[in-house]
Amino acid sequence: MGAGAALAALAILPTLSSTYLATVVYQLFLFFIVAQSFDLVAGYMGYVNLGHYVFFGVGAYAFCIALVGNAPLVLAFAGAGLAALACALLLSYPLFRLRGDYFAFATLALLILFQILATNLEGLTGGSNGISLPPGYHLYAAYYLALAVAAACLVVVRGLMRLRIGLAFLGIREDEQAAEIFGVPLLAHKVLGLGVSGAFAGVAGGIQAWTLSYIDPPTVFGMDVALVPIAMALFGGSGTAAGPLVGVVALGLLEQGLWSRLRYLHVAVYGAILILVGLLMPGGIARSGPWRRLAALRAGAPAGSGRAATGGGA
């Protein structure tokens, strides 16, 4: 019920609002796709892929190369997802030989590696000159496409977590060796998780490239952009159903609000708020006391105020 209403509201938003607001919300969709697909692997499977954004970048490049090569738009978007998927499958072999912090740091290094590759493979990527696309995107088309992919990403992640695959992911997160001894084929599930995660990020990269009309290595592989969606997922609550969504909305709107009101201080205030929330709500907003009381209040609302009173008193 709530989800349907939210989807309807988002669907009619561009017709009612300013282009500015539609652009902001559109950007949130892209952040959400990257944050949620990151969290499938990090939050549920327990593999913190700090280099998740390379799939976004690979998707962006694949899209641009396809479009410049006169491929139809639909094929270019499909190519973005498939290129990222292929990349995820290839990277699975070396990456999943590592665990924990070692995995996280190896994936962080991927960002640097891919930026260097994109800069040096000039024949394919245009090197540091980047790739320019002929202008021709429509904001509303991009908006609805991003909305559809974001919704699909949410549905796929929630759906997977209801299947036996989801149970395997949780087992891998909790105790990989025990999970294997109780019958979970480890590598197949890890590869599947990273593949799905990578494909969504790749499509998001393609959409972003379409609206930017120009990409170069730092725009799609730079550390400054790459860690933002990850910060959002962690800020909202990694491994919770609502976490990435909450984090994207909270940080995305905060950033916009600060930027428009505090021109010179916005980065400092943004940083200070991040630190405060980190201190006061370790585990993210969706694991914090106030958020849980709110959720309990919503769940218990029809039954009366009894639970709310208990929650407030606790």
Evaluate whether 190 touches 42 at the Cβ level (below 8 Å): no
Residue closer to other proteins by CB (options 109, 299) is 299
* Nearest approach, Cβ of residue 232 and other proteins (Å): 22
Residue 254 CA, chain-centre distance (Å), reads 17
Q: Count the Cβ atoms, other than its own, within 10 Å of residue 117.
A: 18
* Nearest approach, Cβ of residue 24 and other proteins (Å): 35
Q: Count the Cβ atoms, other than its own, within 10 Å of residue 184.
A: 18
Q: CB neighbours of 276 closer than 8 A, spacing ≥ 6?
A: none
* Nearest approach, Cβ of residue 42 and other proteins (Å): 15
Under the rule (CB under 8 A), what is the footprint of other proteins? 163-164, 167-168, 170-171, 173-175, 177-186
d(CA 198, CA 301): 39
Residue closer to other proteins by CB (options 55, 169) is 169
Evaluate whether 38 touches 233 at the Cβ level (below 8 Å): yes
CA dihedral 170→173→175→176, nearest 10 degrees, is 100
Residue closer to other proteins by CB (options 71, 167) is 167
* Nearest approach, Cβ of residue 158 and other proteins (Å): 15
* Nearest approach, Cβ of residue 86 and other proteins (Å): 26
Evaluate whether 161 touches 47 at the Cβ level (below 8 Å): no
Residue closer to other proteins by CB (options 70, 177) is 177
Q: Count the Cβ atoms, other than its own, within 10 Å of residue 173.
A: 17
Residue closer to other proteins by CB (options 105, 182) is 182
